Chains A and B, each alone.
Chain A
Amino acid sequence: MIVLGLFAALFTIFVTGLGVTMSIFARTGRFNLIESVCLGWLLGVGIVSLLLWVGGMFCSGFVLQAIVTVAGLALGILGWRAKQKADAQFHFPRPTNVTEWTLASIVLIEIAVLFFVSFKHTLGWDGLLNWELKARYAFLNGGAIPAVYYSSAGRAFSHPEYPLGIPFTELWLYLWMGEPHQFWVKIIFPLFYAACAPLLALLVSRLSGKRWVGLLTAALLPFVPSISASPGGIVVGYVDVPLSVFYLAALGYLLLWFKTNNAHFIIVFAACSALLPWIKSEGIILWAVLVLLGLGLSFSKRRVAQFLISIGPGLLVILGWRIYLKLVHLWPHSDFARPSFSLLRENAGRIHDIIGILFAELSETVHWSIFWLLAAVAVVYLIGSRKLEKLVLAAAVVLPVILYALIYLCSTWPSYSAHMTSSVPRLLLHVMPAGWLAIGLALTQPKDQNRHL
């Protein structure tokens, strides 16, 4: 029964997300099956968790579960009808030569291995106490986290201020399984990886025009030790890999929108970027970076209005969550002080240490191998191309890293260096798939340079 419930929960998430994806792409006439399934998972997770959060304010228990299920299925049916109406067809992008077949097979095997490995580990510290805890408390309360949890000083350790994207996805599985099950709930994390690798391959292929390069970057992705072998990876149930997948998707579709003028891509950007602050608080920084870069692209394209509309959903999520935290009287606990000029001036002396710790982490081969060296070379290539979308991609890799380092100027820990050392590896993980996107485009650079320089 538990496994049946698990499949029902995953099915409803996929149907919800796939419905929205089909609605977005219906008019294009063709759906890439792999793209639709990947986006189906990402958007499904976002929509189901948001529906649970909003619905949980008004109802609970079976009624809440039924309402979210009906809403999800309705979105699925609407998407299917839009597809039928537009006479759109699914197509499966089959590899066309031995290289592509080999690389695609490697990617598939890696996904299967990471599914297997995920079930071998327990949830990590944050995975258990910051994320799963919320899902369990909500489950025990019929599907909504009790307001008393947010104002409890004793449970401030579990960061009540963190958003509910992943905990409520876990909750959705619990509601369907009928109990909080810490073994089966881990399935959602390799599913994020399973969405990330093909999406990376697809985005690199589309932006570079070479499918084998996309498949190569996807095949190399799990060799970054942080994915599977370090704290924060998918095997321990942290939200950093899921956040990185949303960032990759939002960035990739923003670049595709710039490249193709296709309005469908900006809708996907709007959806994926809106979910960044819903997955983790640091998602606001990533969202802000994308808004800044997107504004640059939209000015150059003279499509500022279209872009400004696309950031609406993200603003709504950010404001909605802030207002909610005010209403539930969140216990004032934070690892960071509110930034101000006086604080920055006071803590400016930290800069030297912060840069030192950042570079020590970037060169930590146990966490990253030489991934950041590859990313740095790719950034140099992209800057050398002098093409706006490639400069934007380089900035999308570099800016979050700089901003993530600078936030420790506002750290309230007695030892900001201990704070940074313990958390910065996970923050860097958010940018890692975007770094592979940069590497993929750098790999196909010279021809383009010949053409444009």
Chain B
Amino acid sequence: MRIRSYFHVGLWCALFAVFLVKSIPIVGPALMENRIGPVEANRSIDAYLRALTGIDRGSEKLPDTFQRLSKEGPLVIFVQDENAQSEFLGMMIGYVSWPREVRMIKVAGPTVEKELAEIKPDSVAGLVFCSVNPPEWLGKRVRLGSSIILVPVTEASP
């Protein structure tokens, strides 16, 4: 019985030692990452938009821009299929454009011609391209940071 007890203690001591030896080099540096703050209401949205598009205070600027579009009609957001960054950006646009209705279109091919052909211009307020290049013939473009291009289809009357 004593041998069994020694084995039990030895086994668990060894397991815990290996556990800690493996964990500490992973957990330690992770705890040291980043600094506290800034203590801002839209801290997470702003941090992501700044990192992905270079826009400062994107949580305020983007909704302001979208408000200038017609009150009617959804915002159509084009994102690259299988591109996590583009899709995340599209979702962020969907997030900040609330309560406007949004439509997310994943673009599989190199161009968006096919997808654009299916959109009736008078039924949408604007087109947003997230890390997707709009076709050259598409009219007025508004660049919102490095990866977002807005094409207003209908603008709010003054």
Contacts and interface: CB of A to CB of B under 8 A. Distances in A.
B52 interface: no
Given A158-B91, A446-B4, A371 B41 contact: no
B44 A229 contact: no
Interface string B87-116: 010011011001101111000000000000
Nearest to B16: A220
A236 B101 CA distance: 28
Interface stretch (B31-39, B129-137, B141-149, B150-158): B31-39
B138 interface: no
B47 interface: yes
Contacts of B38: 183
B74 interface: yes
A183 B41 contact: yes
A281 interface: no
Contacts, number: 117
Given A157-B104, A179-B41, A183-B43, A366 B8 contact: no
A113 B31 contact: yes
A182 B19 contact: no
Interface residues of B, number: 47
A289 interface: no
A422 to B, nearest CB: 10
Interface string B61-80: 00000000000001001000
Contacts of B77: 154
A86 interface: no
Interface in A246-280: none
A389 interface: no
A183 B39 contact: yes
Nearest to A237: B44
Given A154-B94, A220-B16, A371-B19, A182 B24 contact: no
Contact of B27 (A119, A181, A228): A228
Interface in A418-447: 443, 445-446
A122 B39 CA distance: 11
Nearest to A415: B82
A101 interface: no
A369 B19 contact: yes
Contact of B23 (A113, A117, A128, A224): A224
A446 B8 contact: yes
Contacts of B35: 120
A155 B94 contact: yes
Contacts of B30: 225, 228-229
A181 B34 CA distance: 19
A115 to B, nearest CB: 11
A348 B1 CA distance: 47
Interface in A92-111: none
**Interface class of chain A by DSSP:** helix
Interface centre among B15, B33, B41 (most CB of A within 10 A): B41
Nearest to A233: B30
B44 A128 contact: yes
Given A122-B43, A446-B5, A223 B15 contact: no
Contacts of A182: 40-45
Contacts of B12: 443
Given A119-B36, A179-B41, A369 B26 contact: yes
Nearest to A229: B30
B15 A373 contact: yes
A11 interface: no
Given A128-B95, A129-B95, A182-B45, A225 B31 contact: no
Contacts of B39: 183-184
Given A154-B103, A183-B37, A377-B11, A223 B20 contact: yes
A359 interface: no
A308 interface: no
A125 B48 CA distance: 10
Given A122-B48, A128-B45, A445 B8 contact: yes
B131 to A, nearest CB: 16
Nearest to A181: B41
A148 B74 CA distance: 13
A365 interface: yes
A122 B24 contact: no
A230 B40 CA distance: 24
B42 to A, nearest CB: 6
Task: Return the 4 tightest CB-CB contacts between A and B, nearest first.
Answer: A229-B30, A154-B102, A122-B44, A369-B23
10 contacts: A113-B31, A116-B36, A119-B37, A123-B44, A128-B95, A129-B92, A182-B43, A182-B45, A365-B22, A374-B15
Given A140-B98, A220-B20, A446-B4, 13 more contacts: A120-B33, A122-B43, A123-B44, A128-B44, A128-B45, A128-B48, A137-B99, A154-B104, A155-B102, A223-B27, A374-B19, A377-B11, A443-B12
Interface of A: 113, 116-117, 119-123, 125, 127-129, 132-133, 136-137, 140, 146, 148, 152-155, 157-158, 179-184, 220, 222-225, 228-229, 365-366, 369-371, 373-374, 377, 443, 445-446, 450
Interface of B: 1, 4-5, 8, 11-12, 15-16, 18-20, 22-24, 26-27, 29-31, 33-45, 47-48, 74, 77, 88, 91-92, 94-95, 98-99, 101-104
